[in-house]
Structure 1
């Protein structure tokens, strides 16, 4: 379920100080709830679910089109990634977040930035945008916790701004709902296995 921006901005997340010049694009409640120590399991569920391969045909087609366009137009070349075209957010990490365990690695196109007991962040950059996926584990008011995802972006010029506007309907109507279903299935599998 899509949440109001305040669901992310009102919390004292470390990412606020690290990505202070990024715009909050989306905030979603994740289909995962559990105890205070279950956050690493959420991170594992998100990065081991098989998206987009196990998604609906429209989402797989959109994903394939995006990667094909990126290859044809040179959007995803290494020279345009974080640390190449502009500094990685890793350079902004405070000392206490450097060198910590980061959870399961998401692999390309994301690079893990850090993980705490209730917060995990990874960045992705290309010619269109520099973005951050932020996962968090929030108390639900009844002794449990619930997962959330925030997406923060910094468009790269007019191309990035136009790109974000063009993909907005696809993100909200197809991609995010499919992600939520996929992550929800994976969460149920992991928690049912007693992990």
Structure 2
């Protein structure tokens, strides 16, 4: 995993830009997918799904998520009234007609981020709670060595001052624990795709 400059995301003609002018770019990362070609994005997404979500992460990551969900439950951060479709409108409500008719991508009960759209070379998922409305954008880009690679951009719209403080507070945990573990999971998913258990 390599952290990239914000411009490596903002200067590409992703469709997500049409929907997120009021969001800020929080992070941009690339993930190694050796041997990948231009048409392999659906295969990468399938491998990631087969690898599992947060429940398949290492113990420190599971612990952090468990603490976060317990805090959220105790403080009311994750009530339905704070989520997508209630506190904030879904990005699906902003979709132009051609994207509205495009495949959405499957939702998983174990994955809090819900699908907005899924195209041949990009997909977007969103989550909202009392702290933030966030979007995870995945794109498929040719890297410097000629292979294609997965890129992830995290876009955020904090919910006021509290949301900005929350994002600042969790940043060290994301960079030191969550993102490295996610990198190992996703890069391993690419390497192990097609083996028994992958779909």
For the aligned pair, the TM-score class normalised by the smaller chain equals over 0.9
Give how far 1:6 is off. 1.3
- Check whether the contact 2:131–2:166 (CA below 8 A) recurs between aligned residues: yes
Could you tell me whether the CA contact under 8 Å between 1:40 and 1:103 is conserved in 2?
no
Which residue in 1 is equivalent to 2:77? 75
1:57 counterpart residue number: 59
The answer on 1:144 being equivalent to 2:147 is yes
Q: Tell me, what secondary structure is at the counterpart of 1:29?
A: strand
- What SS class does the counterpart of residue 37 from structure 1 fall into? coil
Tell me the TM-score normalized by structure 2. 0.90
Task: Give SS of 2:165's match.
Answer: helix
In the alignment, structure 2 segments of 5+ residues that lack a partner are none
Aligned equivalent of 1:155: 158
TM-aligned CA deviation for residue 145 of structure 1:
1.3
Q: Counterpart of 2:18?
A: 17
Conserved? CA contact 2:33–2:147, under 8 Å: no
Query: Equivalent residue for 1:92?
Result: 94
How does 1:1-195 map onto structure 2 within 5 Å?
A: 1-33=2-34, 34-107=36-109, 108-140=111-143, 143-191=146-194
**How far 1:191 moved relative to its partner?**
4.8
How many correspondences in the alignment?
195
Q: Which runs of 5+ in 1 are unaligned?
A: none
- The alpha-carbon deviation at position 7 of structure 1 amounts to 1.4
Query: 1:14-47, CA deviations, whole angstroms, 9 ceiling, x for partnerless residues?
Result: 1111111100000110132411111011222333
The answer (yes or no) to whether the contact 1:18–1:92 under 8 Å persists in 2 is: yes
Corresponding residue SS for 1:86: coil
> What is the distance in 1 between the residues matched to 2:39 and 2:107?
19
Alpha-carbon RMSD: 1.9
Greater displacement, 147-156 / 134-143: 134-143
Which whole-Å CA distance do the structure 2 matches of 1:48 and 1:143 have between them?
26
Provide the TM-score with structure 1 as the length reference.
0.92
CA contact (8 A) 2:9 2:153 kept: yes
Q: Residues 70, 27 of structure 1: CA spacing in aligned structure 2 closer, same or farther, 3 A cutoff?
A: same
